[in-house]
A and B are shown apart, each in its own frame.
Chain A
Amino acid sequence: MEGTRHWRNVVVLWLIASLIMTPIVIFVFGPGLPPGNGSVEASGQVTDNTVLLATATPVALAVLVYLAYVCWAFRERTPEVILDGPAIRGNSSVQFWWLVVTTTLVLFLAGYGTVRLLADGAGGGQGPNPIAVPSAPGGGKPLVVQVIAQQWQFNYRFPGYGGVETNGIELPENTLVQFNVTSLDVIHSFWAYELGVKADANPGVNNVAYVTTKGPLLFHVRCAELCGVWHGYMFNQGLVVPKTQFAAWIARQEQLYAPATKTLPPYSKTYFPQPLRRGG
């Protein structure tokens, strides 16, 4: 029967395309997916992105191969005569299996995403009461870094080091870092791309995100939420450095900013936002 032959052709073409493309996606594209291997969470996101792309590849190929095939095989060969195709109004077994396959895929993706999310928080902002806290390498407590966003810069405050507030950021390697992200004015978003961290900075809210650093790294911090005129200029860089170097750096900062630290408000999860002024 003609329909069966076409079915077989589509399935064979799809199988060939999927068998070629899926390994390419996993092994060639996969390692290049963002955000790289800068931290444990970032590596986890690369894995997630690879799984999603590998799952999506056969699905996308099924639609594309099918579309290309039907456009070629079922094109009107005698356009001057109006002829109708067969009056097929559906096929309950195709519909049933489509439903089964897509539901399975969707539930798999949602389940996988949930497991990955709850394992270590995936570097995302979890609000004031985080539910997914990764364990620190070698035990112990995380290094707390407060990220204070304001128009249009990020400042960093280290409550474990006398509450010193700095303009730049350096982090020790192989350490669990807890970012407490907040804002003084409007909504910003703290995006440390290479670390795989993104957490919105809301005025009056402490948004917590965790990241476990790996080896030395230069990372970019950008604001990922439109925050006014100079949003595009709200970026800087940070470093992940060996632990001894971090100790030296933070000691130097404490010394350097000692006069300023005295005048700062005491460390707090959030600060009373400044009155809003027009003209932003």
Chain B
Amino acid sequence: MQKVDYPVLAGPEGYLPPSAASMGVVLPDKGEALVEGKIVTEEEAMEVIADKLLSAKNPTFFPGPLILWAWNEKAVEKAKAVKELAEVVGAKIIPMPDYRPKYPMINYREEINPNHPNLTIWHNKIDTCVFVGVHCHYANVALKIIRGGTNCYTIALCGEYGHEDAMITLRDVQAREVRRLTEAIKRVKTEREDGR
């Protein structure tokens, strides 16, 4: 049954929270984004992302296989843009190199895994994270686990249609959009430094 006005907020929400889609949160159309379950414009979402990343104590990027491998020119270009973005934010980068669960224990200093993303977040005390270059199914699985069991604020920069279970999601994100976000963050950073 669909419901409305389901807020997608940082957790921990509980033992097994519902997927946001099942609670009536609908993915954005072109030019739109989601902030905490509500549709906003892409520009508005970029402003909120800038604020969240620059206010975070330990912002961390989780790049996935789609940009960790140089499998086509677009991937290389996007990876470079994401690296620059992380540097501008001053964020750490912890990769999600593949989707296999890591047993007996993940090396949380070096990687994150979609099946138990909470372990990397807990051990590194990550308060804000960015998913980028992760296949959508695995991003969705991980984002819901994070919302259920951690207090981490999640941001998903999706190359396709976005992710309802992230607190903020942009859609259709390629290198150009990453650079636009970088510019927005540079501007907000300068404004903050100037005390504006």
Whether A associates with B in a native complex is no
A residues near B (Cβ < 8 Å) are: none
